[in-house]
Amino acid sequence: MNVAPDINQKMQTSDGICLSYSISRCSNAKYTLVMLHGLASNQTRWSEFLNHTELTSRMNLLRMDLRGHGCSMSYGHIGHKIWQQDLNAMLQQESLDKIILVGHSMGAQLALHYAAAHPSKVKGLILIDPTLPKKLKGWLAIARRLRYPLWFVIAVMRLSYKLVNRHKTYPNRDLHALDTKTRKLMARESRDIIADLYSSPKEDLKYMPLVNYLQDIYASTGRLPDLSKIHCPVKVLLSKDSSIVDTANIKDYFSPDIPLEISEINANHWPLTEKPEETQRIIDGWCLNQLASDTP
């Protein structure tokens, strides 16, 4: 099969926002793997995975900067509903209608929302430490309890950004480079250092406006969709030592009628950073099994 390189693309939305995404096409591919990043992240979260995955010769691969992140920067309303609309428009622009969604953290939650709203398009879900609201731990659990005051703060901030026309430029964060640096620090110092680096508002706010960061938190702590609408196979990857999500009894969220597999990785919520090879093998193996089961 011929495999096209990973090409960066731009898309203009109906409300004037320029969205950034990258796509690698494979001739005769039946499915597209769509990669969704998490809170305060961007599409470079998947750069290392793309450099090593076996799926480039079997599937189209698409990753995107969600609106309000990376090179899809905006200062207006963001959240699961509008991210779903953006993804839908992107898939239409690329003429893609059969997808497997893989999402990390908030991106896994977005994958659930999209799959519930568009069940005919989604042929599989891979959820990496999904931020299920009632399973949140630490500071996100506190944010969930303060969700309604947070909504008021966000509304005031969005208005202030609009009134003063504040369009500060933010650098794009290279998460692949950060992952490489972090693994060296973890080997030299402690595994626990990753939580300080990857859940630090001080660091995150160097790369995105505060109003967007707060909207990410609001989205991560919101209600799940009706999961009974999801009928596709689901793979869940859970970090054994997650400081963000309580991983116990995750299977209870899903219908017993759907094919569900759960794997555990010895990590703390960032397995794509902490255990990249193991995570890639699990994702590749599961996707290849799905492709094999779809073969007549």
Q: In what order do the strands lie in the sheet with 60-64?
A: 7-12, 18-24, 60-64, 32-36, 99-104, 122-128, 234-239, 260-265
Q: What is the pLDDT of residue 91?
A: 97
Q: Which residues of 263-286 are buried (b: 16+ CB within 10 A; e: fewer)?
A: bebebbbbbbbbbbeebbebbbeb
Amino acid at 273: T
The encoded tokens of residue 160 equal 């202030």
Q: What is the pLDDT of residue 11?
A: 96
Partners of 291 in beta bridges: none
What's the total number of domains in the chain? 1
Residue 27, domain CATH: 3.40.50.1820
Digitized pLDDT (tens) for each residue of the chain, 296 residues in all: 555 577 899 999 999 999 999 999 998 899 999 999 999 999 999 999 999 999 999 999 999 999 999 999 998 899 999 999 999 999 999 999 999 999 999 999 999 999 999 999 999 999 999 999 999 999 999 999 999 999 999 999 988 877 775 667 899 999 999 999 999 998 888 777 888 888 889 999 999 999 999 999 999 999 999 999 999 999 999 999 999 999 999 999 999 999 999 999 999 999 999 999 999 999 999 999 999 988 65
DSSP 171: P
Whether 43 is covered by a domain: the verdict is: yes
Distance (Å, rounded) from C-alpha 73 to C-alpha 96? 24
Whether 213 is covered by a domain: the verdict is: yes
Domain coverage including residue 194: 7-293
Whether 262 is covered by a domain: the verdict is: yes
* Whether the Cβ atoms of residue 158 and residue 76 lie closer than 8 Å to each other: yes
Whether 2 is covered by a domain: the verdict is: no
Q: What is the pLDDT of residue 222?
A: 95
Whether 227 is covered by a domain: the verdict is: yes
Whether 1 is covered by a domain: the verdict is: no
**Residue 99 φ then ψ, to 5°:** -130, 155
Helices (H), 94-137: 106-117
* Whether the Cβ atoms of residue 62 and residue 32 lie closer than 8 Å to each other: yes
Q: What is the pLDDT of residue 195?
A: 83
Q: What is the pLDDT of residue 99?
A: 98
Whether 286 is covered by a domain: the verdict is: yes
Whether 159 is covered by a domain: the verdict is: yes
Q: Write down the pTM of the prediction.
A: 0.96
